[in-house]
Amino acid sequence: MGNTLSASILETFAPVDRDKIREKLREEFKEFDYKIIVLDDDPTGIQTVHGVSVYTDWSAESIRRGFEEDAALFFVLTNSRSFSAEKTRDAHAEIAKNILEAAKKTGKKFIVVSRGDSTLRGHYPLETETIRANLESAGGMRADFEVVVPFFPEGNRFTVGDVHYIRQGNELVPAGETEFAKDKTFGYVSSNLKEWIDEKTVGRTKAGDVASISLESLRGLDYEGIERQLLSIQNFGKVIVNATTYADLEIFAVALLRAIKAGRYCILRSAASMVKVLGNVSDKPLLTAKDILRQESENGGIILVGSHVKKTSAQLEALKDCATIRFIEFNQHRVLEDNGLADEVRKTTAEAERLISSGNTVVVYTRRDRIDFTGNDPEKNLAMAVSISDAVTSVIGNLSVRPSFIIAKGGITSSDVGTKALRVRKALVLGQIAPGVPVWQTGSESKFPNMPYVIFPGNVGDDDTLRNVVTALGGA
């Protein structure tokens, strides 16, 4: 790959005193009384935070409850990455309406973060444009600029020279040259974020019109210069943020908070790392089994693997080295048969229940060879994928035995398990069991109250991470 960089470049940028940066950021937060609302297009966006609430619907009641919490930050799980464009637009219009209503009732100012995938997949710019249009038309607000920041070191995603990279071993591979860019629904070509915005907006925003916060400005601690950049942007202009460390985000956040205090309003499209910084969430050690397993159980756990990215398949193969775990292949290809998926669900659920009740941890995984759907209609392909996900996750929804823990692998899979199978309305984020791998504690209203639920993104970790997590929970 001609545009690939050596990962050693990440060590070449000027070091900074992070303690002093954090002190400056703390000062800015003292006079910043905004509610941060994170609209998460799948459940993995909580992978950098802890002690915050996740609401799995965007009803007026849920959003109002989020506004009334003491915490500055709360999440609304939209799961819009599994939606059609039309459904996404309708959902975000309703969300904007309910946000404005809650803000009026509570008297709170707010900032909206559209949390998207760090590999640039998702309904962009549809989500942020819909939020902007509805906030402006219904609330009389003016959105001056949009911040785009997909940096996510927990998943080895970095932005250098305006190009977004994914680290693979000792190389930084441009995002547009990875498997993620070939996504059937959300594929793209550009790795340069200015050009990516041009591509995704179909030329409505030209690459040359996109502002950029450079690593040189950040490492030079040019807070005033960055603030001036932000203050100069109008009419929902775009600004991208380069970053190789959390310190870069913290420096940018100082300037961003100052611009907001100066009367500017923005919407963010970001990965999970910026959410942590803007929400002023403290660092926390990785969770242990003692932190997570709060109820003794003689039953085994269950791992549901739906993601088909290469990293997930490699992690599944590594997990198969555990002799004490039982594996059940779910044949999603039966979607092509009349009642095929329903029959596959019945058989799989019965076997999973038998094994879990016997104290075995069980892995239910979708057949690894992908289905080649006929036609190239992205909406139809997405609908077919959703029907398969519904079937797979219903295995957990149909369980009559309570597992000791639940792990779901993949964004859509983990969302469907949480909202459809477990019927969670509100969850508490306990923290992370591995870098970028968050854990929910399910609410009292759910199918299995106070269940430790591990949300494992499809594209996070190395080959052994899934096996290490299962081992840590006593499942292997």
Q: Beta strands of 150-271 (E only): which ranges?
A: 157-160, 163-168, 171-174, 211-213, 237-241, 266-270
pLDDT reported for residue 372: 66
Q: What is the mean pLDDT of residues 225-250?
A: 98
Query: Does the pLDDT value for residue 1 go beyond 50?
Result: no
What does the block give as tokens for 143?
């959105």
- Give per-residue pLDDT as tens, 417-471: 999 999 999 999 999 999 999 999 999 999 999 999 999 988 888 999 999 999 9
pLDDT reported for residue 46: 92
> How would you class 85 by CB atoms within 10 Å of its CB: exposed for 0-12, middle for 13-18, buried for 19 or more?
middle
- Give per-residue pLDDT as tens, 388-423: 888 999 999 999 999 999 999 988 888 889 999 999
> How would you class 333 by CB atoms within 10 Å of its CB: exposed for 0-12, middle for 13-18, buried for 19 or more?
middle
pLDDT reported for residue 337: 85
More confident residue, 156 or 458: 156
- Give per-residue pLDDT as tens, 36-81: 999 999 888 899 999 999 999 999 999 999 999 999 999 999 999 9
Q: How much is the pTM? A: 0.89
In sequence order, what are the beta bridge partners of 219? Answer: none
Percent of the chain with pLDDT over 70: 98
6-24 burial, b for 16+ CB within 10 Å, e for fewer? ebeebeebeebeeeebeee
Q: Give Cβ neighbours of residue 461 (< 8 Å, ≥ 6 apart).
A: 311, 315, 434, 435, 436, 437
Local confidence band at 126 (pLDDT 50, 70, 90 cut-offs): very high
Same topology between domain 5-278 and domain 289-472: no
In sequence order, what are the beta bridge partners of 147? Answer: 239, 268
More confident residue, 257 or 385: 257
Count of residues making up the chain = 476
Q: How far apart are CA 288 and CA 294, in angstroms?
A: 11
Percent of the chain with pLDDT over 90: 82
Contact (Cβ atoms closer than 8 angstroms) between residue 47 and residue 286 = no
Q: How far apart are CA 364 and CA 135, in angstroms?
A: 43
Contact (Cβ atoms closer than 8 angstroms) between residue 238 and residue 232 = no
**CATH T-level topology, domain 289-472:** Molybdenum Cofactor Biosythetic Enzyme; Chain A (3.40.980)
What does the block give as tokens for 207?
């690459």
Query: Does the pLDDT value for residue 377 go beyond 80?
Result: no
pLDDT reported for residue 375: 65
Local confidence band at 475 (pLDDT 50, 70, 90 cut-offs): confident
129-138 burial, b for 16+ CB within 10 Å, e for fewer? bbbbbbbeee
Contact (Cβ atoms closer than 8 angstroms) between residue 115 and residue 275 = yes
* Mean pLDDT, the chain, whole residue set: 93
Q: Characterize the bridge pairing of strands 73-77 and 211-213.
A: unpaired
pLDDT reported for residue 184: 85
- Give per-residue pLDDT as tens, 341-371: 999 999 999 999 999 999 999 999 988 887 7
More confident residue, 188 or 323: 188
Least confident range from 15-24, 220-229, 311-320: namely: 311-320
Local confidence band at 374 (pLDDT 50, 70, 90 cut-offs): low
Q: Beta strands of 120-221 (E only): which ranges?
A: 145-149, 157-160, 163-168, 171-174, 211-213
Contact (Cβ atoms closer than 8 angstroms) between residue 161 and residue 242 = yes
Q: How far apart are CA 227 and CA 256, in angstroms?
A: 7
Q: Give Cβ neighbours of residue 453 (< 8 Å, ≥ 6 apart).
A: 405, 406, 407, 408, 417, 418, 422, 424, 427, 439, 440, 441, 442
Query: Does the pLDDT value for residue 2 go beyond 60?
Result: no
Residue 158 to residues 1, 215, 217, 423, Cα–Cα distance (Å): 17, 11, 17, 35
Q: Is the dihedral of CA 189, 193, 195, 196 positive or negative?
A: positive
What backbone phi and psi angles, to 5 degrees, belong to 34?
-110, 145
Domain ranges within the chain, ordered by starting residue: 5-278, 289-472
CATH architecture of 5-278: 3-Layer(aba) Sandwich (3.40)
> How would you class 30 by CB atoms within 10 Å of its CB: exposed for 0-12, middle for 13-18, buried for 19 or more?
exposed
Q: What is the mean pLDDT of residues 199-224?
A: 98
